[in-house]
Amino acid sequence: MAIAEDLEVASFLKQQPKKLFIGGRWVESASGKTFETIDPSSGQVLAKVAEGDVEDIDRAVAAARKAHESGVWRELPPAERAKMLWKVGDLIEERAQEFAQLDSLDNGKPINEMLLFDVPMSAATFRYYAGWATKLDGATQQTSFPGKYLSYTLREPVGVVGQIIPWNFPLMMAAWKVAPALACGNTVVLKPSEETPLSALLLAEIMQEAEIPDGVFNVVPGFGETAGARLAAHPDVDKIAFTGSTEVGKLIAKAAADSNLKRVSLELGGKSPNIVFSDANLRRATSSAFLGNFYNQGQMCSAGSRLFVQNDVYDKTLDELTKIVEQTRLGPGIDPMTQMGPLVSRKQMERVLGYISVGTKEGARLVAGGKKPEGLDSGFFVTPTVFADVDGKMRIAQEEIFGPVLAAIPFSSEEDLIAKANDTMYGLVAGVWTNDVKRAHRVAHALKAGAVYVNCYNVLDPATPWGGFKQSGWGRELGAYALDLYTEVKNVIVDIG
Ligand code: NAI
Ligand code: MG
């Protein structure tokens, strides 16, 4: 594909094939193989990338182990680690345009969303965890025999951390994983998604510029079944962190158990309920319901893909929502006028179109979208789609579609609602819209979800925890909770009697 000269990221894209980043050096894959990453708005090749496989993961893990054991990172004064991580945040901000253009081209997402959300959130995440590097305190325990035994705890890095991330927020997912791991003194091997490997490599350039020591941060792009599987099964990786499908999450847990029982954290799928009671501010609830499901082309683990609306405001809410949906401007993400881009890949587009025909066959009422838009034939576009009168047992109400498809479900009472809202294998987030403060808290308590938004949706902050109940995952990322994922607690007991 011809790279537009006026793009700030043009010079990065021109150096092809992109290499792996291992031990502070840019290297080819051991096999010499490369793979292509695609611009989903055109279906054309965006870049060729060195294809990491077992041998490359092994090299990267060895580099990360060497850096860990040498102490260049974990024994650095915490304020030095903090300074470098803060610098990473600064450099992400400085190169905001490049990151925005890169993920927009590689993933398809609207560039304005990159500039307003993904990039600032990624920089903020590095800064937030820079602050924690100097605050990894332990505690003293009051023992049963205080005059005899003194007990105190230390938080130590887990060691070499493998991180496997998805394609939906390529830079931001890297930031959420890498920042807390490095703040806690670990070394990292990052495997980005084969669909969107580029921004992780630009992040590696930044790590070099921030003078993060060699081997502390390594990036090995490659496929899940090869490079990803090796990282999860590697005997010398102490912890694996994964975001992606529940199906692959289970494989990761198995691989960890069957190898060295490495620590595992999983951020998996969702089928989140967004709930509108009739006493809510309907205008705000409706526009938020739109963004809560269709932002990022609906490719969000936290998508509010089940919209529950109380009977007496159901028709009105659905009409308003349909109007917003139908006005959405589709186009290539790199065009600043675009409100919704293509899906990430042909595979994802076909999956979503498949679910749309499942919904129709199941008897749900299609009220908007449901097809490929006209005039955008070469890209992987699907029009934003709304199904009404969905029954909670239908596949479109139970399975994660990961695309611009919303299932609207009417409900009568609060009691009826709670049972329906909790009726999936997932439990990532939920939204509640009501002006009744008692009801808001009551429903928030009754929902099985890792985050409940009251009169808002998908508000993300590096300071607040993120993760799921049930099959939405294990552990909590972000906030102080992520420190538990990236440290081991050591209890030191001293005989002082
Ligand atoms: P995926 O779960 O296969 O991919 C996520 C990451 O895992 C990628 O880096 C991939 O290379 C890696 N991976 C795949 N197989 C692996 C294995 N056997 N061992 C180790 N790593 C492996 O997701 P995919 O195929 O891209 O999308 C399929 C569906 O998964 C989506 O339609 C969506 O429903 C769900 N998904 C959910 C995400 C979330 O944030 N909850 C993110 C991405 C996908
Ligand atoms: Mg791509």
For 427-438, what is each residue's pLDDT tens digit? 999 999 999 999
What one-letter code names the amino acid at 5? E
CA of 221, nearest ligand number: 1
In this structure, is residue 2 part of a structural domain? Answer: no
Q: Give the phi and the psi of residue 187 in degrees, each rounded to 5.
A: -110, 155
Rounded mean pLDDT, 201-208: 98
Among residues 51, 113, 194, 301, which one is catalytic? Answer: 301
Nearest CA to ligand 1 atom 30: 245
Ligand 1 center–CA 248 separation, angstroms: 6
CA triple 273-277-268, angle to 5 deg: 10
Percent of the chain with pLDDT over 70: 100
Burial of 274 (0-12, 13-18, 19+ CB in 10 A): buried
Q: From the candidates 98, 113, 194, 267, which is the catalytic residue?
A: 267
Task: Supply the CATH number for residue 224's domain.
Answer: 3.40.605.10
Ligand 1 pocket residue status of 227, Cβ below 6 Å? no
Same domain membership, residue 160 and residue 37: yes
pLDDT at 254: 98
Question: 147: CA distance to ligand 2 center in Å?
Answer: 62
Domain count, the chain: 2
Question: Quick check: 415 pLDDT over 80?
Answer: yes
Spatial contact of 114 and 104, defined as CB atoms under 8 Å apart: yes
In-domain check, residue 331? yes
The domain containing residue 113 runs over which residues?
10-268+473-491
CA separation for the pair 322, 336 (Å, rounded): 23
Residues 326 and 415 in one domain: yes
In one letter, which amino acid is 105? L
Tokens 């069957």 locate to 258
Which residue from 174, 198, 191 is spatially nearest to 39, judged by alpha carbons? 198
Nearest ligand atom owner, CA of 269: 1
CA 295 to chain centre: 14
Catalytic: 94? no
Residue 312 lies in a domain: yes
CA atoms within 13 A on the CB side of 92: 30
Same domain, 449 and 482: no
Span from the CA of 399 to the centroid of ligand 1 (angstroms): 15
Q: What is the mean pLDDT of residues 113-136?
A: 98
301 is known as an active-site residue = yes
Atom of ligand 1 nearest to the CA of 428: 41
Q: What mean pLDDT comes out for the span 312-341?
A: 97
Q: Is 344 in the pocket of ligand 1 (CB under 6 A)?
A: no
The reply to whether ligand 1 has any atom less than 6 angstroms from the CB of 471 is no
pLDDT of 5:
81
Residue 278: Cβ within 10 Å count: 15
CA–centroid distance, 222 to ligand 1, in Å, is 13
Residue 4 lies in a domain: no
Residues 400 and 413 in one domain: yes
Task: Enter the DSSP assignment of 139.
Answer: -
Q: Is the CB of 220 under 6 A from ligand 1?
A: no
* CB of 345 sitting under 6 A from ligand 1: no
Regarding whether 305 and 234 lie in a shared domain, the answer is no
| Among 3, 198, 192, residue whose Cα is nearest residue 100 | 198
Q: Give the pLDDT band (50/70/90) at residue 291.
A: very high
37 and 142 co-located in one domain = yes
Cα–Cα distance, 341 to 318 (Å, whole number): 23
179 and 111, same structural domain? yes
Say whether both 389 and 252 belong to one domain.
no
Q: Whose CA is nearest to atom 29 of ligand 1?
A: 245
Residues 327-357: tens digit of each pLDDT: 999 999 999 999 999 999 999 999 999 999 9
254 plus 112 within the same structural domain: yes
Asked if pLDDT for residue 365 goes beyond 90, the answer is yes
Residue type, 265: S
- Ligand 1 atom nearest to 403, measured from its CA: 32
Angstrom distance (rounded) from CA 104 to CA 90: 21
Residue 282 placed within a domain: yes
Pocket flag, ligand 1, residue 245 (CB < 6 Å): yes
Question: H or E element: which one contains 161?
Answer: strand 160-164
Report the alpha-carbon distance of residue 95 to residue 115 in Å, rounded.
11
Rounded to the nearest 5°, which phi and psi values hold at 28?
-80, 165
The first and second tokens of residue 19, run together, are 């290499």
pLDDT > 80? residue 195? yes
22-67 pLDDT, tens digit per residue, is: 999 999 999 999 999 999 999 999 999 999 999 999 999 999 999 9
- Distance from C-alpha of 113 to C-alpha of 111, rounded to nearest angstrom: 5
Examine residue 30 and state whether it is found in any structural domain, yes or no: yes
| 301, pLDDT greater than 80 | yes
CA angle, residues 334, 302, 270, in degrees to nearest 5: 125
Residue 177 has pLDDT above 90, yes or no: yes
Residues 117, 192 within the same domain:
yes
Phi-psi region of 149 (alpha: psi -120 to 50; beta: other; left: phi over 0): beta
Do 132 and 239 belong to one domain? Answer: yes
| CA-atom Rg of the chain in angstroms | 23
Structure-token match 């600043």, residue found: 336
470 lines ligand 1 (CB under 6 A): no
Which helix (H) or strand (E) segment holds residue 198: the answer is: helix 198-209
Compute the distance between CA of residue 36 and CA of residue 250 in angstroms, rounded to an integer: 27
- Is residue 447 assigned to a domain? yes
Candidates 331, 302, 337, 292; CA nearest to 467 is 302
355 within 8 A of 405, measured Cβ to Cβ: yes
Distance (Å) of CA 308 to CA 294, 387, 412: 16, 12, 10
Residue 371 CA, distance from chain mean position: 27
For residue 105, the ligand closest to its alpha carbon is 2
Q: How far is the CA of 244 from the centre of ligand 1 (A)?
A: 4
67 falls within a domain: yes
Residues in the chain: 497
Tokens (6 digits) for 477: 């990322």
Nearest to 304 by CA among 406, 440, 384: 406
Residue 3 has a pLDDT of: 72
Q: Looking at the structure, do residues 39 and 96 belong to the same domain, yes or no?
A: yes
Is the CB–ligand 1 distance for residue 246 below 6 Å? no
Return d(Cα 337, Cα 104) in angstroms, integer: 13
Q: Is the model's pLDDT at 147 over the cut of 90?
A: yes
For ligand 1, say whether the CB of 349 is within 6 Å of any of its atoms: no
**pLDDT value of residue 441:** 98
Ligand 1 atom nearest residue 231's Cα: 20
- The C-alpha atoms of residue 420 and residue 272 are separated, in whole angstroms, by 11
Element (H, E) at 54: helix 54-70
Q: How far is the CA of 243 from the centre of ligand 1 (A)?
A: 7
d(Cα 300, Cα 169) in Å, to the nearest integer? 8
Q: Which amino acid is at 242?
A: F
**Whether residue 194 has its Cβ less than 6 Å from ligand 1:** yes
Q: What is the structure's pLDDT at 4?
A: 79
Output the furthest CA–CA distance in the chain (Å, rounded).
81
User: How much of the chain, in percent, has pLDDT values that exceed 90?
Assistant: 99
pLDDT at 1 over 80: no
Index of the ligand 1 atom closest to the CA of residue 270:
41
Which residue among 173, 225, 245 is best mutated to probe the pocket of ligand 1, counting the most ligand atoms within 8 A of its Cβ? 245
> Which pLDDT belongs to residue 445?
98
**Looking at residue 317, which CATH number applies to its domain?**
3.40.309.10
Read off the pLDDT of each residue in 102-119 and give the average, rounded to a whole number: 98
pLDDT given at position 427:
98
Taken in order 290, 243, 157, 84, is the CA torsion positive or negative?
negative
Is residue 2 scored above 70 in pLDDT?
no
**CB count in 10 Å sphere of residue 165:** 27
